[in-house]
């Protein structure tokens, strides 16, 4: 998939609406439209990479910020203490549907694996 028709690139470019939770130079966090928990936010690198298979294409700083922003979002959404899941789906068996790397930050209820 090219960046032109990638839905998350469209959100980054402001061509598609989203409810932004956190915005900085290289990382964006926004509400998941299909919220599966009281808190369900997606954290993405603004640079298009399809999955963790391409994590080497972003700088170490961006990779680290993804993790830090996830926790900052959890704090902002008031689930850092009650707990939250950080999940990145990669490839068919994971159920990945959008092929722009994104981390789900989910909380506000008891979560189970998987
Ligand atoms: P995944 O299965 O990990 O690829 O998850 C894709 C997630 O993106 C799902 O939870 C969708 O609800 C969410 N999603 C898809 N399109 C949008 C959108 N335009 N804005 C916000 N979230 C979206
Ligand atoms: Zn993209």
Q: pLDDT (tens digit, 9 = 90+) per residue, 12-55?
A: 999 999 999 999 999 999 999 999 999 999 999 999 999 999 99
The finding on whether 89 has its CB within 6 A of some atom of ligand 1 is yes
| pTM exceeds 0.95, yes or no | yes
The yes-or-no verdict on residue 81 having pLDDT over 90 is: yes
pLDDT for res 3: 84
Top-tier CATH class for 7-107 = alpha beta
| Angle at the Cα of 10 from the Cα atoms of 97 and 35, rounded to 5 degrees | 50
| Ligand at shortest distance from the CA of 6 | 2
Instruction: Name the band, by pLDDT with cuts 50, 70 and 90, for residue 114.
Output: confident
Domain residue limits, the chain? 7-107
The finding on whether 98 has its CB within 6 A of some atom of ligand 1 is yes
Instruction: For residue 102, indicate whether it is catalytic.
Output: yes
- Strand segments (E) across the chain: 20-23, 27-31, 39-45, 84-87, 103-107
Instruction: Name the band, by pLDDT with cuts 50, 70 and 90, for residue 4.
Output: confident
Query: Within 13 A of 89's CA, how many CA atoms are on the CB side?
Result: 14
* Cβ within 8 Å of residue 32, ≥6 positions away: 40, 41, 42, 104
Q: In what order do the strands lie in the sheet with 39-45?
A: 20-23, 27-31, 39-45, 103-107, 84-87
């Amino acid at each position: 998939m090219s960046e032109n028709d990638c839905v998350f690139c469209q959100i980054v470019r402001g061509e598609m609406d989203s409810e932004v939770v956190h915005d900085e130079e290289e990382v964006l966090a926004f509400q998941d439209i299909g919220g599966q928990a009281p808190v369900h936010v997606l954290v993405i690198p603004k640079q298009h990479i399809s999955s963790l298979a391409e994590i080497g294409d972003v700088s170490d700083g961006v990779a680290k910020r993804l993790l830090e922003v996830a926790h900052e979002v959890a704090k902002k959404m008031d689930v850092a203490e009650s707990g939250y899941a950080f999940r990145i789906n990669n490839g068919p068996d994971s159920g990945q549907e959008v092929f722009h790397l994104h981390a789900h930050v989910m909380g506000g209820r008891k979560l189970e694996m998987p």
